[in-house]
């Protein structure tokens, strides 16, 4: 049986990463598929036999939930159960992304306050080629929750896939312009730091490195205790060949980052970086070269919320 504690949300949504890091998470739906593009398998091993048994159990569960939904189309327990079973079957390449769209649409409609369903629905639509539907779903979330980082990142990713960087930049700039009033009305409505980090990444991916660095410098100035813009800036400087300043920033990022990120920052730095002294200021430097890749922050393992069933 599937461990119910994992739940649909725990299986699919890496909420802690988005909330903490603010950007650089690829589409979750495509990640499910990409992680399971397997090579030709040899003779079944005991582990593979166990997986086959698990797949049979999941298929039986899915059929059971489908029978319930034939009688009770809006049965929430059956909708969640079917969704979880189908997502697990997708992992085993025994189901398709389109199979989760209908239950997601119903759950998103039932729980508009829980935008995780809508975000996953948008990702599923985008993956199956319905980019217009995906964009509309993201916009619906942002209309009621303009600071929803998952929806914001999702719509930005969609624009970038469509080769529309200016649309992505405009969306993020408008979000930042509205942040002060929104946060004054309801504190915490928009996480300005996370939006700045996404904007910096978009600039970097569009090879507008000077603007990306300016965003990171502003973010560092506004909160010199947040490791994220320090780390993002260090990655660009490293690729530009400015090793000395990059190393200093990597050290600063290690010093500021929570323990779960320190080893990953060290790895990206390419060696052993001694932490900087606490409180040591980060020196802005906007020197640019012709090329640098988009930045990416380290990703911890997701926490697993209890199933809402």
- Is the pLDDT assigned to residue 83 strictly greater than 50? yes
159 lies in a domain? no
Please check whether residue 172 is in contact with residue 156, taking contact to mean a CB–CB distance below 8 angstroms: yes
pLDDT band at 276 (very low <50, low <70, confident <90, very high): low
Domain that holds residue 102: 1-17+55-144
69 lies in a domain? yes
- Is the pLDDT assigned to residue 28 strictly greater than 90? no
The pTM assigned to this predicted structure is 0.72
3-state SS class at 301:
coil
209 lies in a domain? no
* Position with higher pLDDT, 183 vs 93: 183
- Is the pLDDT assigned to residue 15 strictly greater than 50? no
pLDDT of amino acid 146: 95
107-153 pLDDT per residue, tens: 999 999 999 999 999 999 999 999 999 999 999 999 999 999 999 99
Least confident of 19-23, 81-85, 155-159, 260-264: 19-23
107 lies in a domain? yes
pLDDT band at 272 (very low <50, low <70, confident <90, very high): low
pLDDT of amino acid 40: 38
Please check whether residue 119 is in contact with residue 149, taking contact to mean a CB–CB distance below 8 angstroms: no
CA-based end-to-end distance of the chain? 15
pLDDT of amino acid 274: 64
Please check whether residue 80 is in contact with residue 24, taking contact to mean a CB–CB distance below 8 angstroms: no
- Is the pLDDT assigned to residue 288 strictly greater than 90? no
Q: What is the CATH number of the domain that holds 136?
A: 1.25.40.10
pLDDT band at 49 (very low <50, low <70, confident <90, very high): low
265 lies in a domain? no
Which tokens sit at 251? 């050290």
Tally of structural domains, the chain:
1
pLDDT of amino acid 277: 54
70 lies in a domain? yes
227 lies in a domain? no
Please check whether residue 198 is in contact with residue 174, taking contact to mean a CB–CB distance below 8 angstroms: no
Total residue count of the chain as it appears in this document: 309
- Is the pLDDT assigned to residue 295 strictly greater than 90? no
- Closest C-alpha to 145, from 193, 181, 112: 112
Mean pLDDT of 48-55: 77
In the 3-class helix/strand/coil scheme, how is 218-282 assigned residue by residue? HHHHHCCCCHHHHHHHHHHHHHCCCHHHHHHHHHHHHHHCCHHHHHHHHHHHCCCCCCCCCCCCC
229 lies in a domain? no
pLDDT band at 48 (very low <50, low <70, confident <90, very high): low
């Amino acid at each position: 049986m599937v461990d119910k504690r994992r739940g649909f949300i725990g299986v699919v949504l890496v909420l802690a990463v988005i909330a903490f890091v603010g950007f650089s998470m690829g589409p979750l739906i495509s990640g499910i598929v990409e992680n399971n593009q397997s090579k030709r398998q040899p003779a079944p091993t005991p582990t593979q036999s166990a997986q086959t048994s698990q797949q049979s159990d999941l298929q039986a569960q899915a059929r059971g939930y489908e029978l319930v939904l034939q009688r009770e189309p809006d049965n929430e327990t059956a909708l969640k159960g079917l969704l979880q079973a189908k997502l697990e079957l997708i992992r085993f390449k025994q189901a398709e992304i389109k199979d989760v769209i209908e239950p997601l649409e119903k759950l998103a409609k039932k729980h508009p306050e829980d935008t995780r369903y809508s975000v996953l629905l948008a990702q599923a639509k985008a993956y199956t080629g319905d980019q217009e539907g995906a964009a509309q779903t993201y916009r619906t979330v942002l209309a009621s929750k303009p600071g929803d980082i998952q929806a914001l990142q999702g719509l930005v990713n969609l624009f970038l896939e469509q080769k529309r960087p200016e649309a992505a930049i405009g969306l993020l700039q408008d979000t930042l312009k509205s942040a002060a009033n929104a946060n004054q009305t309801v504190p915490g409505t928009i996480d300005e730091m996370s939006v700045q980090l996404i904007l910096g990444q978009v600039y970097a991916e569009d090879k507008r490195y000077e603007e990306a660095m300016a965003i990171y410098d502003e973010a560092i100035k506004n909160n010199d205790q947040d490791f994220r813009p320090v780390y993002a800036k260090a990655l660009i400087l490293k690729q530009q060949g400015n090793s000395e300043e990059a190393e200093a920033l990597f050290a600063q990022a290690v010093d500021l980052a929570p323990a779960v990120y320190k080893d990953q920052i060290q790895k990206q730095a390419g060696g052993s970086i001694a932490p900087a002294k606490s409180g040591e200021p980060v020196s802005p430097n906007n020197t640019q070269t012709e090329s640098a890749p988009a930045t990416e922050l380290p990703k911890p393992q997701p926490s697993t919320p209890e199933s809402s069933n």
